[in-house]
Chains A and B, each alone.
Chain A
Amino acid sequence: MTLALFLQSAVGGVLLGGMYGLLAMGLSLSWGLLKLVNLSHFALAFLGAYLTYQFGTVYGVPAYLSVLVIVPLFFALGVALHSVFVRFQVKEFASLLVTFGVTILIESLIQWIWSADFLRYETPYAQTTIRLGPIFVPVLDLSAFVCAGVLAGAAWYALNKTMLGKALRAAAHDAPVASAFGINSARVSYILAGLCSATAGIAGVFIALIGTLAPSQIEAWIGVVFAVAIIGGLGSPIGALGAGMLIGVAESLTMSVVNPAWAPLVAFSVLIVILLRKPVI
């Protein structure tokens, strides 16, 4: 194991962590602040990925333009889903079951439209890398990471520096007292639900650019991202990104040092360790 290989692996892990963080953010915010476990986050991300693929290969629309369609579309989807939760007064555990069902529905939809075959969105810049000393940094991965960082920063800023964000956190902490001071938690929760879905859409765009698409891939992410969300602290966007990087690096190093196939165990092991030390969430 040379230093160059080690660094390459670590950098790869950090960038992978960006993707994890991007996906975990929406899940973490929804679970931490809205007390809704949105398993369909993953399926939505993949739907976004497939749409990006479709726009790109069939209509020739480049990814950065697809985003302009996907973000508002997914925001609307998030609001719609949330309105179902509100209408049926769905609480935390029921939300898990319902979104589990939604996940399968979306997965089936994807399979029906695009088939179960592996698809790859080829773009001219897919192979482009930047050279930093001995390390090669793929441009797309880097963009995903930067995007994750920007979103995490923006989310952090919104939650901590704007009145709306503070109101949202207050309502999540103590809804009756918050409403006694005029905070309408229902309205702000719709906005947050929409934003979480929008981040899923954005994550999907990057998934399409970087990885291969197949409906079965959706489940592969669930375990890791869920662990990242919990490790990073529910409701903390920066935490999600940080935890994503931690897990990403750990997985990446495991892959190069030990054996690629053991990577999925890493996130789970970290989660178990955390569980042992702090048993209840």
Chain B
Amino acid sequence: MKKLLITAPIVAVLALLPYLGMADYYLSYLYIIFFWVVLATSWGILSGYTGYWSFGHAAFFGIGVYTTATLATQLSWPFVATIPAAALLAAAIAVLIGLVVFRSGTLRGEFFALLTLSVTFVVAAIVSNTSLDSGTGVFLSGIEIPMIGVTASGSLYMFGLIAVLASLATSYFIFHSKFGQGLLAIHDDEDVAEVKGVPTFRYKLISFAVSSALAGGMGAIHAVYVGYVTVGETFAVTVPLYVVLMSILGGARHWAGPAIGAVIITVLQSAIVSGAHAEFGRAGVALALIVVILVLPSGIVPSLIRSFAGRRGGIGAPETAAQAGTQLAPLAAAGSDPVLLKCENVTKSFGGIRALTGVTLDVWRGEILALVGPNGSGKSTLINMISGHYAMTSGTITLEGEEISGRSPHLIAQQGVARTYQIPRLFDNLTVLENVQLCAKFGSADGMGAAAVDAVTREALAFTGLAGKAGVLPAALNLHDRKFVEFARALAAKPRLLLLDEVLCGLNPAEVDHAVEMIKRIKAGGTTIIFVEHLMRAVVALADRVAVLDQGKVLALGHPSETMRDPAVVSVYFGGQ
């Protein structure tokens, strides 16, 4: 509400400027600032948030420009109608491209950047070679625009203002939404985001579409502003260069970062560079980009925020850590079937190498099952298959009767399977609280309300003793704490089944004891646990049953004290005589 009180007067003043008689020259100047703010902010929605840096923003901007140019001059559409058409077309093409390139999961960053750069050339070529432009450019000076700003300049200024408000509002709302948090998680670690329940493919497509739509809409307006559009000017490298620099300078991860960068660069440029030597302006921007990348990679805004807002400190009175989490009980009501997870004939090959062969295993509800075995026996592979990280070669895995094999990891997560990583993979740019909160939000299929999410997050942090470190970033935590954040994240999803992958690795004896206690309390809360572990003393202390794997097959299964005395098991570890 407070934010609205601050912004509303500013917006009102800006909207009134044409009516207050401000000269066209100044209105145009402001329009240019708006222009760059829109382009930079829209770029940030895809690239700043997800980390997929696009060098092809000019392509979508250009699509917008030429959509309006064509519709208005060749088909006599009214100008205002061309704007949504431009935005929609840009978004549609973005989705088509995204369907191809985002399909494969993680596409390396530099490849995506160069690919989008190429898209620009292709679109430019198509436009140039067809009747859209025919190489001669398109004149739009005769197009009529609604006079919403007294003069023509004023009206274009108003359209620019609307575009700026739309872009900033969109970026702001995304940033503060569940969708936005998912995007930021994708930026930090896409695989983990997917496993924690974020529908990464869908989200990337949506952000690409929104980003391109805004750029296309701005293109539509800009076409009329310049009055004469050419392929060379529209698709020049200027747009991606400036947009990237502005966003990096201002801080690409923040909703206002690109906008701030845009204002700074635009104002500086006009103050320093005269029209005759445009290349100096570009050179300056390029030099600034190089310097910023080398020296200040995360931008101005985030550093400022960090120093002002002070992201340390806890989240208020922590609840007693000793209480078993009441909020954290598994989401699904306890069923009657004693078997929670059924692996049937699970086989996995990587190229020519058999990692798992015909693994058949039942996991009982509420038990702690240990997976042990020598190096290369397939333990981690099996965990990765249950969580959906690897596809099945053959066989099925069912969770309480529902098949989970072959489903996307984020769907499996939402069905109640959570996992931790041997080497903690936390979202580096999110605080401990935000890390846990994200998993609470995305971890269930129905989604919890904000209050429920908060309650679960607090509980998870209290349970793992991290309440005092809620505002800390992962880089400042030691290994033990990072592992416990992994616990908290997994618990926040209220899973029926928890997969722990060598969670004790790297901990000193006291920390090991602490972790073992934690695992016992998690089990007491009703969660079934499968854990991969080498520390045999812990296995014997914790596990109800142990499954010994060797060379991709289940060698033995049963109570630890009997199974570990089985001669076949002994010989696997000690080797033949």
Interface positions of A (Cβ within 8 A of B): 37, 84, 88, 90, 92-98, 100-105, 107-109, 111-112, 116, 216, 219-220, 222-223, 226-227, 259, 261-265, 268, 271-272, 275-276, 279-281
Can you report 21 residue pairs joining A to B where beta carbons are below 8 Å apart?
A88-B294, A90-B294, A93-B53, A93-B109, A95-B110, A96-B114, A100-B286, A101-B290, A105-B286, A105-B287, A108-B286, A112-B279, A216-B232, A222-B117, A222-B121, A223-B118, A264-B121, A265-B122, A271-B115, A275-B101, A279-B103
| Partner pick for A97 among B115, B118, B293, CB 8 A cutoff | B293
Quick check: B122 and A98 within 8 Å, CB to CB?
Answer: no
For B236, list chain A residues within 8 Å (CB).
219
The majority secondary structure among interface residues of chain A is helix
List 13 additional A-B contacts (Cβ < 8 Å) besides A97-B248, A108-B283, A263-B125: A90-B293, A98-B289, A98-B290, A100-B244, A100-B286, A109-B283, A112-B283, A216-B232, A223-B117, A226-B117, A264-B125, A268-B121, A275-B100
Measured CA separation A90–B287 after assembly (Å): 16
Best-buried of A112, A264, A281 by chain B (most CB within 10 Å): A264
For B114, list chain A residues within 8 Å (CB).
37, 96, 226
| Partner pick for B118 among A90, A109, A271, A281, CB 8 A cutoff | A271
Measured CA separation A263–B124 after assembly (Å): 12
Is residue B285 within 8 Å, beta carbon to beta carbon, of the partner chain? yes
For A276, list chain B residues within 8 Å (CB).
100
Nearest B-chain residue to A88, judged by Cβ? B294
Best-buried of B55, B108, B114, B128 by chain A (most CB within 10 Å): B114
In B263-285, the 8 Å CB interface with A consists of 277, 279-280, 282-283, 285
Measured CA separation A272–B122 after assembly (Å): 12
Best-buried of B100, B104, B110, B290 by chain A (most CB within 10 Å): B110
| Partner pick for A104 among B108, B126, B241, CB 8 A cutoff | B241
Quick check: B100 and A272 within 8 Å, CB to CB?
Answer: yes
How far is the CB of B259 from the nearest CB of chain A, in Å? 20
Measured CA separation A193–B446 after assembly (Å): 53
Quick check: A280 and B107 within 8 Å, CB to CB?
Answer: yes
- Chain B residues within 8 Å of chain A by Cβ, number: 45
How far is the CB of B150 from the nearest CB of chain A, in Å? 38
Quick check: A97 and B277 within 8 Å, CB to CB?
Answer: no
Nearest B-chain residue to A218, judged by Cβ? B237
Quick check: B297 and A94 within 8 Å, CB to CB?
Answer: yes
Quick check: A261 and B232 within 8 Å, CB to CB?
Answer: no
How far is the CB of A277 from the nearest CB of chain B, in Å? 11
How far is the CB of A270 from the nearest CB of chain B, in Å? 11
For A105, list chain B residues within 8 Å (CB).
283, 286-287, 290
For B290, list chain A residues within 8 Å (CB).
98, 101-102, 105
For the complex of A and B, the 6 pairs showing the least CB-CB separation, nearest first, are A279-B104, A108-B283, A104-B286, A261-B129, A101-B290, A101-B289
Nearest A-chain residue to B129, judged by Cβ? A261
Measured CA separation A97–B129 after assembly (Å): 30
Measured CA separation A37–B113 after assembly (Å): 11
The majority secondary structure among interface residues of chain B is helix
Quick check: B110 and A93 within 8 Å, CB to CB?
Answer: yes
Is residue B111 within 8 Å, beta carbon to beta carbon, of the partner chain? yes
Quick check: B289 and A100 within 8 Å, CB to CB?
Answer: yes
Quick check: B297 and A93 within 8 Å, CB to CB?
Answer: no
For B280, list chain A residues within 8 Å (CB).
108, 112
Nearest A-chain residue to B106, judged by Cβ? A280
Nearest A-chain residue to B135, judged by Cβ? A261
Measured CA separation A280–B108 after assembly (Å): 8
For A97, list chain B residues within 8 Å (CB).
53, 244, 248, 289, 293
For A259, list chain B residues within 8 Å (CB).
129
For A109, list chain B residues within 8 Å (CB).
283
How far is the CB of B270 from the nearest CB of chain A, in Å? 18
For A107, list chain B residues within 8 Å (CB).
279, 282
Nearest B-chain residue to A279, judged by Cβ? B104
Best-buried of B105, B113, B129, B279 by chain A (most CB within 10 Å): B279
Query: B107-150, CB under 8 A of A: which get 1 and which 0?
Result: 11111011101110110011011000000000000000000000
For A219, list chain B residues within 8 Å (CB).
121, 236-237
Measured CA separation A111–B238 after assembly (Å): 15
Nearest B-chain residue to A271, judged by Cβ? B118
Nearest B-chain residue to A111, judged by Cβ? B279
Q: Given that A100-B241, A108-B280, A216-B232 are known contacts, is A268 also in contact with B104, CB under 8 Å in the complex?
A: no
Nearest A-chain residue to B288, judged by Cβ? A101
How far is the CB of A264 from the nearest CB of chain B, in Å? 4
Q: Given that A104-B241, A105-B290, A223-B117 are known contacts, is A265 also in contact with B110, CB under 8 Å in the complex?
A: no
Measured CA separation A280–B289 after assembly (Å): 28
| Partner pick for A96 among B113, B286, B294, CB 8 A cutoff | B113
How far is the CB of A50 from the nearest CB of chain B, in Å? 14
Measured CA separation A84–B104 after assembly (Å): 33
Quick check: A261 and B277 within 8 Å, CB to CB?
Answer: no
For A222, list chain B residues within 8 Å (CB).
117-118, 121
| Partner pick for B126 among A92, A100, A265, A271, CB 8 A cutoff | A265
For B122, list chain A residues within 8 Å (CB).
223, 264-265, 268
Nearest A-chain residue to B101, judged by Cβ? A275
Quick check: A108 and B282 within 8 Å, CB to CB?
Answer: yes
For A84, list chain B residues within 8 Å (CB).
294
For B55, list chain A residues within 8 Å (CB).
100
Quick check: B289 and A92 within 8 Å, CB to CB?
Answer: no
Measured CA separation A94–B119 after assembly (Å): 21
Nearest A-chain residue to B280, judged by Cβ? A108
For A263, list chain B residues within 8 Å (CB).
125
Quick check: B125 and A37 within 8 Å, CB to CB?
Answer: no
Measured CA separation A226–B113 after assembly (Å): 11
Best-buried of A88, A90, A100, A109 by chain B (most CB within 10 Å): A100
How far is the CB of A182 from the nearest CB of chain B, in Å? 28
For B113, list chain A residues within 8 Å (CB).
93, 96
Quick check: A223 and B294 within 8 Å, CB to CB?
Answer: no
Measured CA separation A223–B122 after assembly (Å): 9
Quick check: B103 and A268 within 8 Å, CB to CB?
Answer: no
Nearest A-chain residue to B290, judged by Cβ? A101
For A261, list chain B residues within 8 Å (CB).
125, 128-129
Measured CA separation A93–B106 after assembly (Å): 14
